A = this chain, B = another copy of it.
Amino acid sequence: MFEAAKLGRQVSKETFKAEVPELRYQLLKAQRALRGTDTAVVVIISGVEGAGKGEVVNILNEWLDTRGMQTFAFWDETDEERERPRYWRFWRTLPERGNISILFGGWYMDPIVHRIKDRCTDAEVDAELSRITDFERMLTEDGALVVKFWFHLPEEVERKKLKKLSRDDRSRWKMNPKKGRFSDHYEQFEKVAERIIRHTDTGISPWYLIEATDERYRDLTVGRTLLEAINARLESPKITDYATTVSQAPLLPSDPGAQLTVLDKVDLSQSLERTLYKTELKKLQAELNLLAWEAYQKKRSCVLVFEGVDAGGKGGAIRRLTNAIDSRLYRTIPVAAPSDEEKAHHYLWRFWRHIPRAGRLTVYDRSWYGRVLVERVEGFASDDEWKQAYSEINEFEEQLVESGIVVLKFWLQISQDEQLARFKARAETPYKEHKITDEDWRNRERWNEYKLAVNEMVVRTSTEYSPWTLVPGNDKPFARIEVLRTVRDRLKAALKEENGRHLSPCKAIK
């Protein structure tokens, strides 16, 4: 594979000088055109030691407008990053639409380093690489442009470059203290790199292999490649033909009489006697308080998702839960309209933001499932968008579980009659009237559409590692106890596991 990067291509000083002004002009023009579009550009800079990755980043910073461009490296992890799923740190660096992020190594650094140091097997690396292609496809489907550069040198050139850098007084400073780590294992490095590039060189985010022997050739080629990639995207912004993850299989037979959903199986007649409720509530809250402290000590986090029919009793159930837990250990995230920073990112970005540190709980009052519920039913998301969301969400939750987070999802269901009664009661209780809006009445008219959406959501996203709990909500005491008991059982079971942290495909990575 790397033969193509060992041809000794060069650019003369004169050509370089002659071509750069036009290239800079075109790059700036493309960058300006990018603003206001839906395209976020992610540039990944990888390659062998001594290839001048830092210099490339500097030249891009010089040629492009630094407004709307940021550079990120991932070499020393903070504890805020370490205590969360691995990809949290990458989500932090994703650019807003119209902007550019330049990432040193990005999500490729860990697999390369770990494989070279023999901390994981080829099979484990391959599993990690499927995650990467999924991730890049998801970003691309959201409008991102992922441009990946691999800088390469022949072995003897690398050796010479590193030697020269360390000898020459004027450029010795270009050597950072970490250099020369991998250069001793040129062949092995090349082998690992080839495997990684081969597996992640996809049609939607291809690798650009760049010969770095001659610096002028390298810089000019990077500039031109980036320019072409941006311009190509600007010309045909519609990404198509790769939404292979979208399942088109119908979930229900089309005969309307046969449209039985999972919700029809929920027995709404269940109830709990009031004094029994009070005793049970106290007992469960006491248990949950201790479990939350134990989880804190064992650094196991918990993500709780509450979804449900309007007036289904989400708020009451959440409060019974959070009242039991020390308020320093949990955070409730009520999901409302996104801010403009949030809107400028992939829809999962604003949920990633609030993923808890080790040992804490985050309660999402409504969640990423809005994508396949309200956004689907109201038409805020296109068909492609909400259909893709199922696998994106499964992948997202899998990452949470892998990093040791306990994920619990509740759907609170009530009957149409019960909803009507509650709406009326809300309108009549002064401190509850804010909870009932015109929107609620409108949603009510779409009862059956929501029902189908919920059915599909449950079927497609109730996984072994993060199952849905359907809670019969007509009787509030019953529903609340059901929620608390489920949380207690799941948390208890999780805290008993020998090894809290489910390992990632590439075990050594986390």
State how many angstroms separate the Cβ of A220 from the closest Cβ of chain B: 15
In the complex, the answer to whether A357 meets B431 with C-beta atoms within 8 Å is no
- List the B residue with the shortest CB-CB distance to A53: B327
In the complex, the answer to whether A54 meets B327 with C-beta atoms within 8 Å is yes
Closest 9 CB pairs of A and B: A173-B289, A73-B328, A25-B431, A24-B431, A25-B430, A67-B334, A173-B286, A57-B327, A340-B340
Chosen A-B contacts, 21 in total, with CB atoms closer than 8 Å, are: A21-B429, A21-B430, A22-B430, A24-B431, A25-B431, A57-B327, A58-B323, A66-B365, A71-B327, A73-B328, A79-B80, A80-B80, A170-B286, A171-B286, A173-B287, A174-B289, A177-B293, A339-B340, A339-B341, A340-B340, A341-B341
301-344 of chain A: CB within 8 A of chain B: 319, 322-324, 326-328, 331-332, 334, 336, 339-341
- Given A58-B322, A78-B357, check contact A71 B331 (CB 8 Å): yes
* Distance in angstroms between the alpha carbons of A24 and B433 in the assembled complex: 12
In the complex, the answer to whether A62 meets B323 with C-beta atoms within 8 Å is yes
Counting CB contacts under 8 A, is A104 at the interface?
yes
Counting CB contacts under 8 A, is A413 at the interface?
no
Across the interface, which residues of B come within 8 angstroms of A327, CB to CB?
Answer: 54, 57-58, 61, 71, 73, 104
Counting CB contacts under 8 A, is A65 at the interface?
yes
Counting CB contacts under 8 A, is A490 at the interface?
no
Across the interface, which residues of B come within 8 angstroms of A442, CB to CB?
Answer: none
Across the interface, which residues of B come within 8 angstroms of A236, CB to CB?
Answer: none
Across the interface, which residues of B come within 8 angstroms of A334, CB to CB?
Answer: 66-68
Across the interface, which residues of B come within 8 angstroms of A287, CB to CB?
Answer: 173
In the complex, the answer to whether B67 meets A434 with C-beta atoms within 8 Å is no
Across the interface, which residues of B come within 8 angstroms of A319, CB to CB?
Answer: 61-62
* Distance in angstroms between the alpha carbons of A47 and B65 in the assembled complex: 51
A: interface residue count bin? 35 or more
Counting CB contacts under 8 A, is A172 at the interface?
yes
Counting CB contacts under 8 A, is A117 at the interface?
no
Interface string of A227-252 (1 = CB under 8 A from B): 00000000000000000000000000
* Distance in angstroms between the alpha carbons of A328 and B45 in the assembled complex: 12
* Distance in angstroms between the alpha carbons of A430 and B29 in the assembled complex: 10
State how many angstroms separate the Cβ of A50 from the closest Cβ of chain B: 14
State how many angstroms separate the Cβ of A290 from the closest Cβ of chain B: 6
Beyond contacts A78-B357, A173-B285: 17 other A-B pairs, Cβ-Cβ < 8 A, are: A21-B431, A28-B431, A54-B326, A58-B322, A61-B327, A62-B323, A67-B336, A70-B331, A78-B78, A78-B80, A104-B327, A169-B286, A173-B289, A176-B328, A339-B339, A339-B341, A340-B340
- List the B residue with the shortest CB-CB distance to A26: B431
In the complex, the answer to whether A75 meets B286 with C-beta atoms within 8 Å is no
Counting CB contacts under 8 A, is A32 at the interface?
yes
Across the interface, which residues of B come within 8 angstroms of A174, CB to CB?
Answer: 289
Across the interface, which residues of B come within 8 angstroms of A54, CB to CB?
Answer: 326-328
Across the interface, which residues of B come within 8 angstroms of A339, CB to CB?
Answer: 339-341
Across the interface, which residues of B come within 8 angstroms of A431, CB to CB?
Answer: 21-22, 24-25, 28
Across the interface, which residues of B come within 8 angstroms of A70, CB to CB?
Answer: 331
State how many angstroms separate the Cβ of A359 from the closest Cβ of chain B: 10
* Distance in angstroms between the alpha carbons of A270 and B157 in the assembled complex: 44
* Distance in angstroms between the alpha carbons of A80 and B61 in the assembled complex: 26
